[in-house]
């Protein structure tokens, strides 16, 4: 066998990299690699060759580094420099930098101390002198944010972080001065000037009427000074002065006098008046503007050259003036400086939009709160109104006594047929309906169980009644009827067995509130008329408004009947309110009825009641589907009432529809559909039959299958269909005779012709 040369070994290792790796991992000791690192501080090798170091080898390097640090008696910066060199090797990083945290003028910041350290770079070239520091506030930039959060950040793609600083600037919503300060503070290292100031202009265009009185009475001269291009008086309400030479400092001058050095020259006023960019290459020699020629302070600083630019917002209004003094190299500001500062002032101007928008949002929020407070004042039940129900109450009554007093004032369920599907509100006054509503909560045993204060329950029920508008159909009587039907389905229809007491409490409450503040027009009209509600809610417009109104009432502690629930229970109630109230949107009815039918089919096949209860009560989704269908059944329940009740209610519904049709014809200039057209009122029986067949029959037929106790509703529906069909047939016969007579007359006219 021939002798193996070095070239043969090298070639073999190159052709078999996996074998080479396994061999070196097994045979090469840490000491061998460690010897490579035992070099003089100035002779560190390039870190590229150490990318594949093992964990053991890394430990050896770090150990040697600790030994060197202990031996090193020089400054902290030199020790850190050595550490950064080793870290650059271990991490295979291009370079490393170190920033120190400090506070200047009370503002915490981080400043560069060692920049661009590589495994081979010299300490002297990496040390940053004070005049060349890169400085960040603690909430600006990646470095500042790391110092602020005290957390490690690993940025896989730094390109995604390029707008990070800008984002932090735009996060400053509350104050334009703070926003400008953040932006200018962040980029001041790039401005290449010794000092700059920002003057903020008063944005008031019109004076208050009382400020005009002295002028109109001749007691004061009208303003004759400079004005901005949009007609505002040039009035700098604040100046922010940034000193970058010597000791860095920031000065804020509120309400600066006209002779303040920033304004005394007249340049900022001129820029604000005309909107020009002014570059004064030799400021002391300028004859138009009077710049101060002597030193400003003990440092001997004087103005040499000046660059001044307007700050313009998105509305093209001048909101301030930025003025830069003395380029650092002593030369005048050039075209490049103008471009840089112009981009900066554009950014500042655009950023104003952020604070303006935030200010407008705040004002809108405040207006909303005021409007809500006014609404509550008008809607919320007064003490006198509460005493019409909760009478004979003295201050010493405890809650049990109040409950007892309240119960005594409430009607007996049998006297008003609260448990009957045939219940009619016509014989009952609206005030008595409030008492009936309160009675239902006692009947489902939730008042004492959930510690509902008697006065709060009374106030809530009375306030809900006042929340319904005095309109033709969707008024308090309709709201009460839906609540009563929900109560009857739960108790008489025996659906309560699937739900907890808390769920039943929420379902009955939501049913009472389901149409609160209804306007007498439907969702389609809201969209056609582009009403504020339509602009606010994208779908189920009125239903979402009823939901929000209901939740608003509960935000008032004196109206919150759920105030003694824990957080989880309260969240459950709000969710059930949403499910129940949104479910009354008939546009959603066709989506849910197939799901309900499948549940009914499954229940029919079960022999034991316990099996059915478990099947439904253990599945929240099934309970919500049934609840949603119950709300539809409650909302349409007038169609199942005895004929003498249903016929009257149908006329009320039709009248409200016709009122909407009148609005469509007069306000929207549109022809209403037949259901909304009072000129086609005779078609009401035909429309009712179609409504029963297309919408209602499925609901009550399936509920009668679901629970035989609910069959009276389906029977009532069928009886009413017979009544409406007979009247529809009479109308059809009448129309048929009219059509035949018309045809006969046309034929006779044709013969004579």
pLDDT digits (tens, 9 = 90+) for 129-166: 876 777 766 666 677 778 877 888 887 765 554 445 45
Q: Tell which residue, 557, 473, 476, has the closest CA to residue 513.
A: 476
**Is 563 annotated as ligand-binding?**
no
What's the chain's length in residues?
753
Whole-angstrom Cα distance, residue 486 to residue 421?
10
What are the phi and psi torsion angles at 84 (to 5°)?
A: -65, -35
> Using one digit for the tens of pLDDT, what is the confidence trace for 197-244?
999 898 887 777 888 888 888 888 888 899 999 899 999 998 988 888
Q: Is residue 635 annotated as involved in ligand binding?
A: yes
> What's the CATH number of domain 55-149, 3.40.50.880, 1.10.357.10, 3.40.50.300, 3.30.450.40?
3.30.450.40
Average pLDDT score over residue span 533-549: 91
In what order do the strands lie in the sheet containing 96-104? 96-104, 107-117, 135-137
Using CA atoms, how far residue 610 sits from 379, 598, 616, in Å, is: 45, 19, 10
Q: Find out whether 515 is annotated in a ligand binding site.
A: yes
E-strand ranges in 336-452 read: none
- Please state, in angstroms and rounded to a whole number, the distance separating the CA atoms of residues 64 and 56: 13
| Cα distances (Å, whole numbers) of residue 716 to 641, 696, 721 | 6, 11, 9
Which residues, in sequence order, are bridge partners of residue 239?
A: 199, 253
Instruction: Tell me how crowded residue 34 is: count the other CB atoms within 10 A of its CB.
Output: 16
Q: How confident is the model at residue 751 (pLDDT cuts 50, 70, 90)?
A: confident
Query: Which of the four pLDDT bands, split at 50, 70 and 90, describes residue 654?
Result: very high
Strand 249-254: give its sheet, edge to edge.
249-254, 236-243, 193-201, 318-327, 306-312, 278-280
Q: Check whether 514 is labelled as a binding-site residue.
A: yes
In CATH, which superfamily holds the domain spanning 413-731?
3'5'-cyclic nucleotide phosphodiesterase, catalytic domain (1.10.1300.10)
Known binder of ligand: residue 113?
Answer: no
- Is 477 one of the annotated binding-site residues? yes
**What number is the average pLDDT over the span 357-369?**
72
Q: With the C-alpha atoms ordered 237, 242, 243, 245, is the resulting torsion angle positive or negative?
A: negative
The Cα diameter of the chain in Å comes to 132
Every domain of the chain with CATH number 1.10.1300.10 lies at 413-731
Q: Out of 3.30.70.20, 3.30.420.40, 3.20.20.70, 3.30.450.40, which CATH number does the structure's domain 159-360 have?
A: 3.30.450.40
- What residues contact 571, with CB distance under 8 A and at least 6 apart? none
Q: What element of type H or E holds 238?
A: strand 236-243
Query: Predicted confidence band at 41 (pLDDT cuts at 50, 70, 90)?
Result: very low
CATH 3.30.450.40 domain residues, the chain: 55-149, 159-360
- Quote the pLDDT of residue 328: 85
Q: Is residue 518 among the annotated active site residues?
A: no
pLDDT in tens, 84-117: 888 888 788 888 999 988 876 667 888 888 988 9
CB 169 within 8 A of CB 351: yes
Per-residue exposure over 649-660, b if at least 16 CB sit within 10 Å of its own CB, e if not: bbebbbebbbbb
CB contact set of 211 (below 8 Å; sequence gap of 6+): none
Instruction: Pick the catalytic residue from 81, 474, 518, 545.
Output: 474
Q: Is 148 annotated as a binding residue?
A: no
């Amino acid at each position: 066998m021939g002798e193996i040369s070095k070239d043969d070994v090298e070639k073999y290792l190159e052709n078999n990299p996996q074998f080479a790796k396994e061999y070196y991992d097994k045979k090469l000791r840490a000491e061998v690699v460690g010897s490579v690192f035992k070099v003089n501080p100035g002779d560190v090798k390039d870190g590229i060759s150490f990318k594949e170091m093992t964990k053991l080898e890394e430990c050896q390097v770090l150990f040697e580094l600790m030994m060197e640090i202990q031996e090193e008696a020089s400054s902290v910066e030199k020790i850190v420099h050595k550490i950064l060199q080793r870290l650059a090797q271990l991490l295979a990083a291009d370079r490393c930098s170190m920033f120190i945290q400090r506070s200047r003028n009370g503002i915490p910041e981080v400043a560069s101390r060692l920049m661009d350290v590589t495994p081979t770079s010299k300490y002297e070239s990496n040390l940053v002198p004070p005049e060349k520091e890169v400085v960040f506030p603690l909430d600006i930039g990646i470095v500042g944010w790391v110092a602020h959060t005290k957390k490690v950040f690993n940025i896989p793609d730094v390109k995604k972080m390029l707008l990070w600083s800008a984002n932090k600037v735009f996060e400053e919503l509350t104050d334009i001065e703070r926003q400008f300060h953040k932006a200018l503070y962040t980029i001041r290292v790039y401005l290449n000037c010794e000092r700059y100031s920002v003057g903020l202009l008063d944005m008031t265009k019109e004076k208050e009427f009382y400020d005009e009185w002295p002028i109109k009475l001749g007691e004061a001269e009208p303003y004759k000074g400079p004005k901005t291009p949009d007609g505002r008086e040039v009035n700098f309400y604040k100046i922010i002065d940034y000193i970058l030479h010597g000791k860095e400092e920031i000065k804020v001058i509120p309400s600066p006098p006209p002779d303040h050095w920033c304004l005394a020259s007249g340049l900022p006023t001129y820029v604000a008046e005309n909107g020009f960019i002014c570059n004064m290459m030799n400021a002391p020699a300028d004859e138009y503007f009077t710049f101060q020629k002597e030193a400003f302070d003990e440092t001997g600083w004087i103005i040499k050259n000046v660059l001044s630019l307007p700050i313009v917002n998105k509305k093209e209004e001048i909101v301030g003036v930025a003025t830069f003094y003395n380029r650092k190299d002593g030369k005048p500001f050039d075209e490049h400086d103008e471009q840089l500062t112009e981009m900066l002032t554009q950014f500042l101007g655009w950023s104003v939009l952020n604070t303006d928008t935030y200010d407008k949002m705040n004002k809108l929020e405040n207006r909303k709160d005021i409007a809500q407070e006014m609404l509550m004042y008008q809607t919320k039940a007064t003490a006198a109104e509460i005493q019409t129900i909760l009478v004979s109450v003295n201050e010493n009554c405890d809650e049990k006594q109040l409950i007892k007093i309240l119960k005594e004032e409430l009607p007996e369920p049998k006297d008003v047929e609260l448990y009957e599907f045939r219940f009619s509100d016509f014989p009952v006054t609206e005030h008595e309906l409030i008492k009936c509503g309160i009675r239902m909560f006692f009947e489902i045993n939730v008042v004492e169980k959930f510690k509902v204060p008697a006065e709060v329950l009374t106030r809530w029920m009375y306030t809900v009644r006042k929340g319904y508008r005095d309109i033709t159909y969707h008024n308090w009587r309709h709201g009460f009827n839906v609540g009563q039907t929900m109560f009857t389905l739960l108790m008489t229809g025996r659906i309560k067995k699937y739900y907890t007491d808390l769920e039943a409490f929420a379902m009955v409450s939501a049913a009472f509130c389901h149409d609160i503040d209804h306007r007498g027009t439907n969702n389609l009209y809201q969209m056609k008329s582009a009403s504020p509600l339509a602009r606010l809610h994208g779908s189920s417009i009125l239903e979402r408004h009823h939901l929000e109104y209901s939740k608003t009432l509960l935000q008032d502690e004196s109206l919150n009947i759920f105030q003694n629930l824990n957080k989880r229970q309260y969240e459950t109630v709000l969710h059930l309110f949403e499910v129940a109230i949104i479910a009354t949107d008939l546009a959603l009815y066709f989506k849910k009825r197939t799901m309900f039918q499948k549940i009914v089919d499954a229940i029919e096949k079960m022999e034991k009641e316990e099996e059915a209860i478990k099947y439904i009560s253990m599945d929240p989704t099934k309970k919500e589907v049934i609840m949603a269908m119950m709300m539809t059944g409650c909302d349409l329940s007038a169609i199942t009432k005895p004929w003498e009740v249903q016929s009257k209610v149908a006329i009320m519904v039709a009248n409200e529809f016709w009122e909407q049709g009148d609005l469509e014809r007069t306000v929207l200039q549109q022809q209403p559909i037949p259901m909304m057209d009072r000129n086609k009122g005779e078609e009401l029986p035909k429309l009712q039959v179609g409504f029963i067949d297309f919408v209602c029959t499925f609901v009550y037929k399936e509920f009668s299958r679901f629970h035989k106790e609910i069959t009276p509703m389906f029977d009532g529906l069928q009886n009413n269909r017979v009544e409406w069909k007979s009247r529809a047939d009479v109308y059809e016969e009448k129309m048929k005779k009219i059509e035949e007579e018309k045809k006969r007359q046309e034929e006779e006219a044709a013969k004579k012709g």
